[in-house]
Amino acid sequence: MKLPPEFDPVANLVARQEENGTFHSVIQSAALVESLIRDGSQENFETAELVINAVIDCQSTDPEDPHVGNFLWEKETEVVEDLNAVQFVLFRFIPLLIEFEGRISVVTRERMRVAIRSGLEAIARIDVHLLYTNIVLKDICNSCLGGELLGDTEIAERGYLKLRRWFDRTRQSGIPTEYNSPGYTSLAIEVLGRLASTTEDVDARVLSTIAAARLSVSAAALINP
């Protein structure tokens, strides 16, 4: 896989140039990690590990920080400004560690585990509302899969319970509360699909599969009744 032209090999992060300087995107870099690892070559695995560590370096580890465990949106911001950043990073990291743990070096995968646990603790503190579909589905997916990865039943059970609560509330109308966006609909289907294909929990697999199907039918009906 050819690295994107925006990749900065010095910082090992995706960058963009602005009039007032260079800015490195932590979220886009986490997405790049998934592309590199799924490409499968050893060279790309080695590059992915460099990016993983650069992303983890952008996680708050200060116990005095109220947002400890969360990530910077961009390296240059220096403080956590967007509380959703942790959701986007863990959505990439958790499934990759579940699927490819044996190919990631011991040092990097242990850093990932520590970062994931701290990130999941931040997610639980934020506890985003059920109406915020885009983010609550990432909360659910990250918590279910992250708890399973870490062998932490409390984290996983929080995810399973929140999935049930979101499912029951959404069932009242058939679709998520704020949905009229093709982009967000496809994103919700992606997140639910990842949960359905990866979780070890039968109930979570069934609920996420049904929810993804309902969203797909609703979107299709809007396109062509």
pTM tops 0.85, yes or no? yes
Contact 134, 184 (CB under 8 A): yes
Distance, CA of 62 to chain centre: 22
- For the segment 170-187, what is each residue's pLDDT rounded down to a tens digit? 888 777 876 667 778 889
Phi, psi of 70 (to 5 degrees): -85, 170
Q: Determine the pLDDT at residue 180.
A: 64
Q: In what order do the strands lie in the sheet with 13-18?
A: 7-8, 13-18, 21-25
- What pLDDT digit, counting tens, does each position of 119-137 carry? 999 999 999 999 999 999 9
Q: Give me the percent of the chain exceeding a pLDDT of 90.
A: 80
pLDDT of 49 > 70? The answer is yes
Most confident of 14-28, 40-54, 138-152, 184-198: 138-152
Report pLDDT digits (tens) over 86-119: 999 999 999 999 999 999 999 999 999 999 999 9
Encoded tokens for 117: 């646990």
pLDDT exceeds cutoff 80 at 142? yes
Mean pLDDT of the chain: 93
φ, ψ for residue 170 (rounded to 5)? Answer: -65, -35
Pairing of strands 13-18, 21-25: antiparallel
pLDDT value, residue 139: 98
pLDDT reported for residue 199: 98
Q: Taking the chain, what is the end-to-end CA distance rounded to the nearest angstrom?
A: 40
Task: Compute the half-sphere exposure of residue 142: CA atoms within 13 Å on the CB side of its CA.
Answer: 29
